[in-house]
Amino acid sequence: EVQLVESGGGLVQPGGSLRLSCAASGFTFNNFGMSWVRQAPGKGLEWVSGTGYNGADTYYSDSVKGRFIISRDNSKNTLYLQMNSLRADDTAVYYCAKGVGIRPRWYFDFWGRGALVIVSS
């Protein structure tokens, strides 16, 4: 059974940093691209960042480019999102999602339950 479990969310002040983790199991992690997708309270889904199967290729939305860094450790079956210079509009539930398709054209067949990040003073 595929499982994606996010951790590391919480309350952070504007300008601060936070690192999210996503522990994957139930599939061959190093065969698939992975992404982070977020959802602000009461809003729709927004793709944030993605990485290919080996972490060499990374992609970002314009809204987080230069502030967030995606990475993965295939030896630990874990995906990360380092979030720096956080702003109030980064407040959202952050989902880890398993990508299917030819890098970087992914759709997402499995999702984690999400980690809530609140940016507020």
Where on the chain is the footprint of other proteins (CB under 8 A)?
35, 37, 44-47, 50, 59-62, 95, 100-101, 104-114
Q: Which is nearer to other proteins, 14 or 57 (CB)?
A: 57
Q: Which is nearer to other proteins, 15 or 105 (CB)?
A: 105
Q: How far is the CB of 95 from other proteins (least distance, A)?
A: 6
Q: How far is the CB of 65 from other proteins (least distance, A)?
A: 10
Q: How far is the CB of 104 from other proteins (least distance, A)?
A: 5
The H or E element that residue 18 is part of is strand 18-25
Q: Which is nearer to other proteins, 87 or 113 (CB)?
A: 113
CB count within 10 Å of CB 109 equals 13
Which residue's entry shows tokens 């065969």? Answer: 31
Q: How far is the CB of 94 from other proteins (least distance, A)?
A: 11
Q: CA-based Rg of the chain, rounded to a whole angstrom?
A: 13
Prior bond of 104 cis (ω within 30°): yes
Report the DSSP pairing between strands 18-25 and 78-83.
antiparallel
CA angle 92, 96, 97 (to 5 degrees): 125
Q: Which is nearer to other proteins, 18 or 114 (CB)?
A: 114
